[in-house]
Chain A
Amino acid sequence: MTQLALVIDLNVCVGCHACVTNCKQWNTSGEAGPLVDENPYGKDPTGTFFNRVQTFEVGEFPHTETVHFPKSCLHCEDPPCVPVCPTGASYKREEDGIVLVDYDKCIGCKYCAWACPYGAREIDEKQKVMKKCTLCVDRIYDESLPEPERKPACVLACPTSARLFGDVHDPESEVSIAIREQGGYPLMPEWGTQPSNHYLPRRKTKMKIHKDELVRVDNPLKKDGHLPKVDENESFLEDSASW
């Protein structure tokens, strides 16, 4: 079984919001109609987004670290938002594990949003239906797009490649390897939702350079002693033609 998901590398995310912008652009232009924006240029702009980037400061000054934290639906393997939906508008796809909302069935009761511990669902105040990340389901299977572009809009937009996309059930996929080898973790594991999206932790990148690495004792040039020597006074043919 396939389970598509995102893996987000907190070590490289710079909090630029490119994923937020591209997500909004793609998903507000799709068949499902716009994602609402209220007062976009007014005092209190608000609207529906599938993806948001938050920023946290960890530690106490001056020993602090800034963590930019992109946040969207985690496409849980055991999604608590699905069984509570009274209409069946919320569902998890068998074939690829994406959790979706059927906007034509949703009655806008918001019960699913209450049942998601992550706050990943946002109602569209204009269409009055529940919306959430679709993993760009209208993009990743679109054969009219060139193969490398069949990825969620956020993944394509990220300038630092902090967002990986793939099948977390395939142990050899890029995302599975990243989770396995870089300590990928799920959010709020205490509720047993088994989020498919994982996060890669901040890492300290340190390099220890030893003296003998700067001046190598076994420097082949020095060792072999065959440095070509040039006689500065030797004259060449072109010397006679220059001044």
Chain B
Amino acid sequence: MHPAFSVIFLTTLIGAGQGLFLALMTVQAYADIGALALPEGSYFGTNSMIALALLVAGLIASFFHLGHPERAWRSAAMWRTSWLSREVIALPIFMGLVFVYGLLHYLGYNPNLFGENAPPQGELTYLVGLLGVVAAFALFICTGMIYGCLKFLQEWNTPLTPINYTLFGIASGFTLATALTAWMAPTLVNFYGGWAIAFTVLAFITRSASLIRNQRIKHRSTLATAIGVRHAQIQQKAQGAMGGSFNTREFFHGKTAAFLKSIKWVFLVLVFPVPVLLLALGLQNNSATLLGLAFAIQYVGLLAERWFFFAQAKHPQNLYYQTI
């Protein structure tokens, strides 16, 4: 497939936004059972707005993918059958919840809904946050399933696709949270940093699993089934167009196999070992700069990862275009 930068930015940006929000809720959950001291002041408010900014940026990127962005509202119609439609619904709901969550924290409005003596889970921000967590995971699943549900795109048609989307989002979100917290609430840095490393390692395991799976994939369609001629020797002589077509542009990445391979190594290095190393160093030296760098490098790596994700998928329609 031809990797579209609009979609690459959309998925990486909202993934980081979702992850950052989940990181915030993790701290609040720990704090509510008394395992952590709740950070002071506007910490949650500011970080929620940063998460929201990432989501908005992703949304804006997605509009560049559409031929008719002014009609985008129509895309909520077919949620019964279309994962894309479901994502279009889940994203604004999640954005709304993040906004309300941040606003409540910012205003310090946090009444206990079930009475003063109820457990802390009765707090308004906690309940809104829980809804946000549900929405964040729903959104991860929708995003992953947009690709995972296409059964003849065999590289994508695996549960690993939504799992990878989820873990990459969470890993980059926690890395970002670690960097931001180093500036805002240094006592929590180790907490976030530990989780960031754990999720990055987890993502490495699942992404490696999908890379290994895709390496040994056997494509079910062949040129023989594509044109229905049962013969081992078929050569294409004409593709039906001289100057190329939508079919030759949309479904091919247009780069060499060597380039594809090098991008794979680029992302394998930039997403996993380098950020983990920088996180460890940053935590040890208490350096916000190193932690910030860890996020920046991991994000760049994720752009490469997403590019590779699209480029690696071989669409069966390519069988009709043998000489690209």
Contact = CB atoms under 8 A, between A and B. Distances in A.
A136 interface: no
Contacts of A202: 229
B110 interface: no
A87 B251 contact: no
Contacts of A67: 227, 229
B187 interface: no
B84 A84 contact: yes
Given A108-B67, A119-B317, A86 B234 contact: no
Contacts, number: 178
Nearest to A54: B240
Nearest to B251: A119
Interface size class of B (residues with CB under 8 A): 35 or more
Interface in A98-138: 105-111, 113-119, 122-123, 125, 127-129
B228 to A, nearest CB: 5
Nearest to A42: B243
B146 to A, nearest CB: 7
Nearest to B243: A44
A76 to B, nearest CB: 12
A46 B243 contact: yes
Interface string B234-275: 111111111111110011000000000000000000000000
B150 A109 contact: no
A57 interface: yes
- Which of B88, B316, B318 has the most chain A CB atoms closer than 10 A to its own CB? B316
A56 B317 contact: no
A201 interface: yes
A86 B233 contact: no
A97 B217 CA distance: 34
Nearest to A127: B67
18 contacts: A43-B243, A46-B244, A49-B245, A52-B241, A54-B238, A56-B223, A56-B227, A56-B229, A60-B233, A67-B229, A82-B81, A84-B81, A88-B77, A89-B74, A111-B146, A117-B317, A122-B246, A187-B228
Interface of B: 1, 65-69, 71-72, 74-78, 81-85, 88, 146, 149-153, 220-221, 223, 225-229, 231, 233-247, 250-251, 315-318, 320-321
